[in-house]
């Protein structure tokens, strides 16, 4: 490696690998979720969450949890998982956690929001599929 920080393509590959590891029955509901890799969350997103430091947000789920959806909805944007590369790399550097493990953790957390899971349920999912 040339000493450069991993790019968006590396984070996306790790995130797609993580999504592929999510077990059924969750896996069958992830096909339509869009994965977006950005360097940082935009100011509007940070403001809406009350976050001042963009390094404090590594990922975000946009959409309605699966259990709250209606078959009568139409025209809605697809559910999206945003991963923020620079905050992920900052946390990676600060903690020494392997990058693939960190991306796995962030992806599971955001997938958990897609399913409306509690933090405890997300940790169980992470442990079961990790």
C-alpha to C-alpha distance for 55 and 58, rounded to whole angstroms? 7
C-alpha to C-alpha distance for 82 and 106, rounded to whole angstroms? 10
Cα dihedral across residues 72, 73, 78, 82: positive or negative? negative
Residue 100, Ramachandran bin (φ over 0: left; ψ between -120 and 50: alpha; else beta): alpha
DSSP element (H, E) containing 38: strand 34-38
Per-residue pLDDT of the chain (130 residues; tens, 9 = 90+): 457 889 999 999 999 999 988 887 777 778 888 999 999 999 999 999 999 999 999 999 887 655 554 455 555 677 899 999 999 999 999 999 999 999 999 998 888 877 777 778 777 777 776 6
Q: In what order do the strands lie in the sheet with 59-62?
A: 34-38, 80-84, 59-62
Pick the CATH number of 8-68+75-129 from 3.40.50.720, 3.30.2010.20, 3.40.50.300, 2.40.30.10: 3.30.2010.20
**Could you tell me the pTM of the whole model?**
0.83
Give the domain ranges of the chain: 8-68+75-129
pLDDT attached to residue 67: 56
Each as own residue / partner, the long-range contacts of residues 13-17 (CB below 8 Å, 24 or more positions apart, any chain) are 14/99, 14/100, 14/103, 14/104, 15/81, 15/83, 15/103, 15/106, 15/107, 17/100
């Amino acid at each position: 490696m040339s000493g450069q920080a991993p790019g968006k393509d590396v984070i996306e590959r790790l995130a797609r690998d993580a999504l592929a590891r999510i077990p059924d029955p969750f896996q069958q509901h992830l096909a339509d979720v869009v994965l977006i890799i950005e360097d940082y969350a935009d100011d509007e997103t940070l403001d809406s969450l009350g976050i001042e430091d963009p390094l404090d947000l590594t990922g975000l789920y946009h959409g309605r949890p699966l259990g709250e959806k209606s078959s009568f909805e139409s025209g809605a944007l697809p559910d999206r998982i945003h991963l923020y590369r620079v905050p992920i790399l900052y946390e990676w550097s600060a903690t020494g956690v392997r990058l693939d493990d960190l991306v796995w953790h962030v992806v599971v957390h955001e997938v958990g929001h897609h399913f409306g899971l509690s933090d405890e349920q997300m940790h169980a999912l992470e442990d079961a599929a990790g």
